[in-house]
């Protein structure tokens, strides 16, 4: 362990150098091979897995030249928790500690523990297989602070029957400083939403862990220590829309947690997860201040490392802590062997290399298909998740259909026709339909999704031909690099106006409408009318005859005119009914009649073709302008509701872009120093930020 030397010109000044890395997402070169499975994984992400080993070693080499006293790593050390990757990283970190004398502290990230996606792509037959799985116990042993020269580690012990927060600990690595490493993950049955030992994205501080952290803070402050924290998830929002749009990137109930930790005496935390360089601060009602220094991912733009100098000055009625934050970027690697190509490479500028590895159409298409496959596989193999999704869909459709479906046409009302959705019938319909969705042809489904996502990425947003993909990369990389305070480009401002005017939502509605129609066409060939409606036939009063063991989807009835309506239906869609199967005034449905059969009957019927031709002629004449995003006219009530939804979506997209592309706090995120003053007497600890 290094001795922290006081400056010769003052017996009351102490300087501590803290190196910070986050989201290494390291994939051991031994697990990489040039196979279709690895190509799919690599193309579905913007992380530079091939270079992760070289980037880590280059960052540590550069940090080592600054002789840090501590190295903090804010979680997500591995791609997906491969034990082989963890073992390789821990050895690299051990070598770093031995060479530099720095103590190393690593908080776990959501990718690191109990992750079922851990894969080995380097196999004899080229087919990816599960890699070693990392449990909390394995992680705790590999990154035990004692391994890196720390003594006197105070570990948190979860209550009996719980495991949440179990990798948390507190240390006093140097005199005057207490570091609390917090396990903010959801990987155990007592913390996950599904109640299983499988990692989830969101973060939490369990009640027991919170009480323990507060106790550690109070004890440290009683000794006059500076207290800082280390965790993966954010304790403060790093852009205004984060709590609403991306809550899984913050610890649950972050406002209360940050306030209580600040009031107890913690200066702030070092975090990761969002892959951005960003610094936020807050002041509690009690006047205490708290910061959250978030560091970007090492293998994504801008491939940063942080060097923070903490200067503790005692005297003048209290303790003044000066934090100087310096960001290291544009690092060069040594020559390394690319595990994918087997060729030697050297990257002269990690920042620029990662900038070029942003979002592209291939990546978005591959990611969409990859995630859909994972989702469908989980539904097929996890009955509890399938049931949970079933319930959510039923509840959503129940509210949409059973409460809002009504007939507005006066002629229909005059005929006494009543239509409503039966909740039980809706649930039983989902029971019949969802398995059909899971059995659809994978290749056709994937191709449709890729085509749709590709079309969305190519939407043109400026007269010069900039696309929404260009804008996404621009805004996102501004946030990742902590560059939101710079004046935005003129074309980006034009794009913002395009978003605010609803142009993007119009384009997306049109694209997704075409996707839905194509998807419905494929699905219609497998869904029978009886499966969907739970109906074996229709009576002359229009009431539906239930399929044995089913509740009809609809409650349908007519006071008069039912016989005529049945005759018209039989004339329009003869394929729907069994030939000669009319019993007691009831028309029986053909059990194997699909929606594709109905469509074929309707599109070939002379009356329908005549009506379609008339409609084309009317459309060729000047008429009221329709919503350009809608390919057909809708009843006024429905059109009004859709316009409201469109307005809400437009507002959300515009606010999200504004929030991520502009830092309202005004704090410089890369080069800054700030002071925290603790008075000897009870009182505030004012914090001031200044650009370095």
Q: Which H, E and C letters describe 145-191, residue by residue?
A: HHHHCCCCCEECCCCCCCCCCCCCEEEEEECCEEEEECCCCECCCCC
Rounded distance, CA 467 to CA 419, Å?
45
Here the tokens at position 51 are: 């270079």
CA distance between the termini of the chain: 30
Q: Which of 462-476, 595-609, 632-646 is predicted with the least confidence, judged by mean pLDDT?
A: 632-646
| pLDDT score recorded for residue 126 | 92
Instruction: Flag whether pLDDT at 667 surpasses 80.
Output: yes
665 falls in which pLDDT band (50, 70, 90)?
A: confident
pLDDT tens, position by position, 551-592: 998 888 777 777 788 888 888 888 888 876 666 678 888 888
| pLDDT score recorded for residue 414 | 60
- For residues 411-415, average pLDDT: 56
Look at 607 and 253; give whichever has higher pLDDT. 253
Instruction: Flag whether pLDDT at 623 surpasses 50.
Output: no
Rounded distance, CA 22 to CA 389, Å?
34
Which string of DSSP letters, residue by residue, matches 608-664? HHHHHHHHHHHHTS--PPPPTT-SS---HHHHHHHHHHHHHHHHHHHHHHHHHHS-T
Instruction: Flag whether pLDDT at 645 surpasses 70.
Output: yes
Dihedral (CA of 564, 567, 568, 573) sign: positive
| pLDDT score recorded for residue 491 | 96
- For residues 222-228, average pLDDT: 95
259 falls in which pLDDT band (50, 70, 90)?
A: very high
| pLDDT score recorded for residue 627 | 47
Instruction: Flag whether pLDDT at 416 surpasses 70.
Output: no
Q: Which of 336-350, 413-427, 528-542 is predicted with the least confidence, judged by mean pLDDT?
A: 413-427
Look at 406 and 608; give whichever has higher pLDDT. 608
Share above pLDDT 70 across residues of the chain, in percent, rounded to a whole number: 88
- Answer whether CATH 3.40.50.1820 is correct for domain 13-357: no
Instruction: Flag whether pLDDT at 624 surpasses 80.
Output: no
How far is CA 521 from its chain centroid?
30
Report which listed range, 127-141, 381-395, 442-456, is most confident.
127-141
**Structure pTM?**
0.83
| pLDDT score recorded for residue 616 | 57
| pLDDT score recorded for residue 5 | 45
pLDDT tens, position by position, 287-296: 999 999 999 9
| pLDDT score recorded for residue 377 | 81
| pLDDT score recorded for residue 654 | 95
What's the chain's average pLDDT?
A: 87
Look at 414 and 35; give whichever has higher pLDDT. 35
pLDDT tens, position by position, 358-396: 999 998 998 888 888 888 887 778 777 777 777 777 776
């Amino acid at each position: 362990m290094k001795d922290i030397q006081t400056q010769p010109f003052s017996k009351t000044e102490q300087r501590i150098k803290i190196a910070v890395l986050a989201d290494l997402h390291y994939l051991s070169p031994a697990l990489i091979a040039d196979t279709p499975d690895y190509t799919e994984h690599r193309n579905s992400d913007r992380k530079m897995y091939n270079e992760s080993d070289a980037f880590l070693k280059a960052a540590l080499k550069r940090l080592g030249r600054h002789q840090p006293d501590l190295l903090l790593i804010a979680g997500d050390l591995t791609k997906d928790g491969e034990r082989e990757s963890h073992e390789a990283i821990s050895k690299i970190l051990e070598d770093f500690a031995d060479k530099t004398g720095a103590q190393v502290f690593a908080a776990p990230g959501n990718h690191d523990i109990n992750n079922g996606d851990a894969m080995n792509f380097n196999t004899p037959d080229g087919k990816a297989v599960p890699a070693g799985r990392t449990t909390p116990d394995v992680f705790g042993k590999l990154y035990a602070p004692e391994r890196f020269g720390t003594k006197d580690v105070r570990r948190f012990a979860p209550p009996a029957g719980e495991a949440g927060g179990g990798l948390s600990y507190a240390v006093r690595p140097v005199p005057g400083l207490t570091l609390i490493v917090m396990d903010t993950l959801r990987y155990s049955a007592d913390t996950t939403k599904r109640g299983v030992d499988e990692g989830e994205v969101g973060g939490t501080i369990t009640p027991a862990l919170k009480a323990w952290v507060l106790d550690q803070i109070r004890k440290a402050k009683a000794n006059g220590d500076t207290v800082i924290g280390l965790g993966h998830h954010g304790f403060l929002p790093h852009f205004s829309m984060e709590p609403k749009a991306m809550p899984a990137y913050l610890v649950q109930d972050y406002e209360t947690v940050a306030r209580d930790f600040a009031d107890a005496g913690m200066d702030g935390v070092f975090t990761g997860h969002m892959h951005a360089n960003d610094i936020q601060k807050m002041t509690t009602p009690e006047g205490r201040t708290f910061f959250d220094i978030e560091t970007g991912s090492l293998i994504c733009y801008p491939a940063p490392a942080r060097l923070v100098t903490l200067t503790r000055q005692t005297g003048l009625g209290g303790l003044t802590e000066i934090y100087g934050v310096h960001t290291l970027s544009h690092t060069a690697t040594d020559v390394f062997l690319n595990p994918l190509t087997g060729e030697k490479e050297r990257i002269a500028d990690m920042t620029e290399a990662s900038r070029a590895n942003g979002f592209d159409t291939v990546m978005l298409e591959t990611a969409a298909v990859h995630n859909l496959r994972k989702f469908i596989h989980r539904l097929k193999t996890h009955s509890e998740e399938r049931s949970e999704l079933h319930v959510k869909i039923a509840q959503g459709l129940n509210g949409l259909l059973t409460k809002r479906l009504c007939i507005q046409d006066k002629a229909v009302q005059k005929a006494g026709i009543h239509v409503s959705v039966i909740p039980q019938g809706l649930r039983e319909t989902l029971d019949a339909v969802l398995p059909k969705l899971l059995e659809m042809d994978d290749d056709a489904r994937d191709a449709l999704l890729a085509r749709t996502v590709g079309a969305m990425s190519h939407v043109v947003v400026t007269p010069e031909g900039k696309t929404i993909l260009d804008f996404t990369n621009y805004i996102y990389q501004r946030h990742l690099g902590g560059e939101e305070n710079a004046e935005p480009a003129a074309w980006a401002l034009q794009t913002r106006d395009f978003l605010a005017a609803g142009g993007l939502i119009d384009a997306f509605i049109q694209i997704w409408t075409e996707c839905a129609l194509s998807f419905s066409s494929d699905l219609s060939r497998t869904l029978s009318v009886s499966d969907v409606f739970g109906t074996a036939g229709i009576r002359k009063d229009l009431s539906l005859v239930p399929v044995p063991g089913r509740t009809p989807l609809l409650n349908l009835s007519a006071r008069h005119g039912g016989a005529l309506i049945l005759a018209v239906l039989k004339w329009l869609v003869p394929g729907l009914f069994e030939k000669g199967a009319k019993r007691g005034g009831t028309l029986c449905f053909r059990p194997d009649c699909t929606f594709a059969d109905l469509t074929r009957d309707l599109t070939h019927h002379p009356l329908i073709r005549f009506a379609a031709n008339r409609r084309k002629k009317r459309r060729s004449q000047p008429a009221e302008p329709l919503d350009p995003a809608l390919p057909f006219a809708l009843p006024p009530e429905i059109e009004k509701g859709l316009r409201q939804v469109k307005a809400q979506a437009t507002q959300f997209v515009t606010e999200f872009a504004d929030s991520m592309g502009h830092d309202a706090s005004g704090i410089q995120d890369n080069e800054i120093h700030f002071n925290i003053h603790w008075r000897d007497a009870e009182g505030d600890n004012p914090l001031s930020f200044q650009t370095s």
